[in-house]
Amino acid sequence: MNWNVIGFGAFVAVLGYLAGATSPNPEDHRASIFIIGYAVILMAVGCFAPDRVAKGFLFGSIAIAMIVYALPKPFWKFIGLIN
């Protein structure tokens, strides 16, 4: 068990829930479901995978999130994920 990964997953789940609960935008509600789902997967990996795999999953997902947020808005409009 990797408690750092499990704790980070719980933190992400709380942030996802609060983001969806405090926003009137329906797209944010849908996004919060995906964030909470990711957090559940992250906590499961932290519980059942070896430490090296759990840490790799955590840092890999953080790197992917940084790349995704760096992409420009026209890209997301082109693939149809935002209006």
So what's the pLDDT on residue 40?
A: 92
Q: What is the pLDDT of residues 53-64, one digit of tens each?
A: 988 888 988 888
Under 8 Å CB-to-CB from 76, ≥6 apart: which residues? 82
Q: What is the pLDDT of residues 28-82, one digit of tens each?
A: 787 788 888 989 998 999 899 998 998 888 898 888 888 887 888 888 788 777 7
Backbone angles phi and psi of 18, in degrees to 5: -65, -35
Give the C-alpha separation, 46 to 75, whole Å: 33
The rounded radius of gyration (Å) of the Cα atoms in the chain is 14
Give pTM, 2 decimals: 0.73
